[in-house]
Amino acid sequence: MAEVRGLGKQGDVVSVAPGLMRNRLLPMRFARYIDRNARHIRAEAIAGQDALKSAQEVNKAYQQTIKREQRIVQLQELRHRLQVLPPLVFSRAVNEVLPGSKTIFGSVQAEDVVKELKEKHGIVVDHSKVTVNGTKIKSIGDSWARIDLGELGSVELKVVVERR
């Protein structure tokens, strides 16, 4: 029950003189009696704890597998929804200082694509997973946006920038 100098530390099973046990260790709750089968019981308890720990590890691995499969199903559904989308259309003002210029004021960036997907199509995508024609679109015309789906690759969306 407690560490006793010269006898051992808590949890040790030792033999002591009957008088020492009866007069000192037991009354002060430094030790207690165990039966002869206690070692076997303790070994069985340790084996039971090991089996419980092993079962918990198996359960944890199973739960992780379930989560991964659910994530893959969600990504497949997202990929299908993205593949059937019409082109994303953005209207921007054109810099008309130079005749025939296709350069727009501002740009179309990943955040714009994420906002458009959420507002018009109800699709939520993390903007860190979106790449727009490199980094951003600076002119009118057709372009693309790529959405990274992790293990399932990526999906390219057509992006059209029109004159406002």
Q: Cα–Cα distance between 106 and 139 in angstroms, integer?
A: 9
51-79 exposure pattern, b = at least 16 Cβ within 10 A, e = fewer = eeeeeeeeeeeeeeeeeeeeeeeeeeebb
- Report the predicted TM-score, pTM, of the whole model to 2 decimal places: 0.62
pLDDT tens, residue by residue, 24-81? 888 888 888 877 766 677 778 888 899 999 999 999 999 999 999 999 999 999 999 9
User: In the prediction, which pLDDT does 10 show?
Assistant: 80
Domain spanning 85-163: CATH 3.10.430.100 = yes
Domain positions in the chain are 1-33, 85-163
Q: What's the token pair of residue 111?
A: 């955040």
User: In the prediction, which pLDDT does 62 show?
Assistant: 96
User: In the prediction, which pLDDT does 115 show?
Assistant: 94
User: In the prediction, which pLDDT does 2 show?
Assistant: 66
pLDDT tens, residue by residue, 71-117? 999 999 999 999 999 999 999 888 777 777 888 888 899 999 999 99
| Whether residue 142 has pLDDT greater than 80 | yes
| Whether residue 158 has pLDDT greater than 90 | yes
